[in-house]
């Protein structure tokens, strides 16, 4: 889910509970001045895009599956909140006419193309909107939709390779993504998706689920609040059934992206469990391309594993730093001294104290990657490939950002060369 573009923007949203909560629906209290635009199935955008389902939502937008009445194709339309700063459009537009990459770079097709922009004037304000090609589901949604939570080996290799390729492409344009995780990596729709009729789409994926919005005090709904909440459509399929041919990705959600040379950024909005440690221990230094490298490593681990590398439900920063030290070893000396909670968790030399159990790197690979694959009757990584994965990922997870490899160096690693890039994108 996308974070707000500024602290001021976040503070403008209501924290009170005004409506009966609906599962799988954006926060209804944010249908207010400056917030979401109310959308219903059957609405027309820009006099041509007919809304037929909901694809998803974030903190500063909702995204809708629509049928373009002019081209007779399915499209995705993102409707931004009125108070948002939709710089994502500017970022994505730079990719459309960049001169910094080869013409036939396959990664160009792995970032969304802005196909149309327009503005909706609604009861909650003026909403910037833009159209892109639709996508099926995020890698996170596909994993959450299966109890196995494991991709086949060839699919996992392909997804990891594509992720590095597209981040390399983004970095080559001088852009730091700033929010890389499974939820922002989407599967593309099949090539024949536009040939599916609306009736066939509803039959296969289900009709929109409309749940009445109810005001807790019994009053009528304000004009800027929709009459019904709409759950997002599930266009995915069981993770273990996804084939290599279907594993084409789209890197989405550039709401936290920034130009490294033009707009230094210090605050990371990446989910805490994969947030790079420099965001905590070097808050006065700007985030960089290396910050993306840390989250790419965590995301690749989640692609090949059943469980994430670092885990924490309702975790604190101290919890996550503890996870990182358990896995990767002692922090740099100045960070180690600065970390006040350290003395309650580790001895001076990094040995855990007051804890009977901790999981090392090798432990995590065995119980998150290998054992679940064996238990599910799926092929495991052999010793040589496992070592190649370790040799690639461990430098990417260096605590000091300046010690992490670039995307170009990652693409030259043994795992990428011998197991990944052989697939023709």
pLDDT digits over 161-180, tens only?
A: 999 999 999 999 999 999 99
- The pLDDT of residue 4 is 35
Q: Would you place residue 3 in the very low, low, confident or very high pLDDT band (cuts 50, 70, 90)?
A: very low
Model pLDDT for residues 111-124, shown as the tens digit of each residue: 999 999 999 999 99
Rounded Cα–Cα distance for residues 300 and 195 (Å):
33
Rounded average pLDDT over 262-272: 91
For residue 215, the 8-state DSSP code is B
Rounded Cα–Cα distance for residues 350 and 342 (Å):
9
CA within 13 Å, CB half, 135: 28
Tokens describing residue 190 = 């099949």
- The pLDDT of residue 97 is 60
pLDDT at 300 over 80: yes
Rounded average pLDDT over 66-73: 96
- The pLDDT of residue 102 is 55
- For 250, the 3-state DSSP assignment is strand
- The pLDDT of residue 334 is 96
pLDDT at 7 over 50: no
**Parallel, antiparallel, or unpaired for β 125-132 and 73-80?**
antiparallel
- The pLDDT of residue 12 is 47
pLDDT at 243 over 80: yes
pLDDT at 262 over 70: yes
CA distances from 145 to 37, 138, 185 (A): 29, 11, 15
* Contact between 281 and 302 (Cβ < 8 Å): no
**For residue 358, which of 348, 371, 345, 349 has the smallest C-alpha distance?**
345
- The pLDDT of residue 90 is 86
pLDDT at 10 over 50: no
* Contact between 22 and 28 (Cβ < 8 Å): yes
pLDDT at 99 over 80: no
Model pLDDT for residues 396-411, shown as the tens digit of each residue: 999 999 999 999 999 9
CA distances from 237 to 45, 66, 124, 136, 146 (A): 29, 21, 36, 9, 9
Residue listed under structure tokens 């550039």: 254
Which bin fits 63, alpha (ψ -120 to 50), beta or left (φ > 0)? beta
pLDDT at 103 over 90: no
Averaged pLDDT of the chain = 90
Rounded average pLDDT over 72-90: 91
**Helix H segments across 211-312?**
278-281, 289-304
Q: To the nearest whole percent, how much of the chain has pLDDT over 90?
A: 77
CA 279 to chain centre: 18
Rounded average pLDDT over 56-84: 94
**For residue 50, which of 75, 81, 25, 26 has the smallest C-alpha distance?**
75
- The pLDDT of residue 294 is 98
Residue 154, burial from CB neighbour count under 10 angstroms (0-12, 13-18, 19+): middle
Residue 163, burial from CB neighbour count under 10 angstroms (0-12, 13-18, 19+): buried
Annotated binding site: 78
Q: Would you place residue 5 in the very low, low, confident or very high pLDDT band (cuts 50, 70, 90)?
A: very low
**Parallel, antiparallel, or unpaired for β 125-132 and 185-188?**
unpaired
Tokens describing residue 382 = 């052999």
- The pLDDT of residue 146 is 87
* Contact between 134 and 74 (Cβ < 8 Å): yes
Pairwise pLDDT comparison (262 vs 295), residue with the higher score:
295
Q: Would you place residue 8 in the very low, low, confident or very high pLDDT band (cuts 50, 70, 90)?
A: very low
Annotated binding site for ATP: 78
CA within 13 Å, CB half, 401: 20
């Amino acid at each position: 889910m996308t974070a707000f573009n500024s602290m001021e923007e976040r503070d403008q949203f209501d924290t009170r509970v005004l409506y009966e909560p609906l599962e799988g629906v954006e926060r209804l209290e944010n249908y207010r001045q400056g917030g979401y635009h109310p959308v219903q199935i059957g609405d027309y955008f820009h006099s041509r895009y007919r809304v037929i389902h909901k694809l998803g939502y974030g903190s500063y937008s909702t995204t809708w599956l629509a049928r373009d009445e002019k081209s007779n194709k399915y499209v995705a339309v993102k409707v931004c909140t009125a108070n948002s700063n939709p710089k994502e459009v500017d970022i994505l537009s730079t990719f459309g006419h960049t001169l910094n990459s080869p013409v036939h770079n396959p990664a160009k097709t792995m970032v969304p193309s802005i196909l149309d922009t327009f503005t909706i004037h609604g009861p909650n304000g003026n909403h910037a909107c833009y159209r892109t090609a639709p996508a099926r589901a995020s890698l996170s949604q596909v994993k959450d939709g299966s109890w196995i939570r494991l991709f086949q080996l060839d699919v996992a290799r392909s997804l990891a390779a594509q992720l590095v390729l597209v981040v390399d492409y983004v970095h080559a344009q001088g852009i730091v993504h700033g929010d890389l995780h499974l939820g922002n990596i989407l599967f593309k729709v099949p090539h024949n998706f536009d040939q599916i009729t609306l009736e066939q789409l509803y039959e296969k994926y289900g009709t929109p689920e409309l749940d009445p919005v109810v005001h807790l005090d019994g009053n009528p709904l304000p004009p800027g609040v929709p009459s019904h909440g709409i759950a997002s459509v599930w266009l995915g399929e069981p993770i273990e059934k996804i084939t290599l041919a279907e594993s084409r990705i789209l890197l989405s959600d550039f709401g936290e992206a920034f130009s490294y040379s033009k707009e230094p950024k210090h605050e990371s909005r990446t989910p805490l469990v994969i947030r790079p440690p420099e965001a905590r221990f070097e808050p006065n230094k700007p985030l960089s391309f290396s910050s993306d490298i840390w989250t790419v490593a965590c995301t690749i681990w989640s692609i090949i594993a059943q469980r994430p590398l670092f885990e924490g439900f309702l975790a604190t920063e101290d919890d996550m730093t503890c996870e990182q030290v358990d896995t990767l070893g002692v922090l740099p000396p100045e960070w180690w001294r600065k970390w006040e909670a350290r003395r309650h968790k580790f001895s001076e030399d990094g040995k855990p104290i007051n804890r009977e159990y901790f999981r090392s790197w090798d432990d995590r690979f065995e119980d998150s990657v290998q054992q679940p694959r064996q238990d599910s009757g799926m092929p495991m990584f052999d010793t040589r490939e496992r070592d190649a994965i370790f040799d690639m990922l461990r430098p990417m997870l260096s605590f000091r950002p300046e010690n992490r490899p670039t995307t170009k160096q990652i693409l030259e690693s043994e795992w990428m060369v011998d197991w990944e890039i052989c697939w023709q994108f």
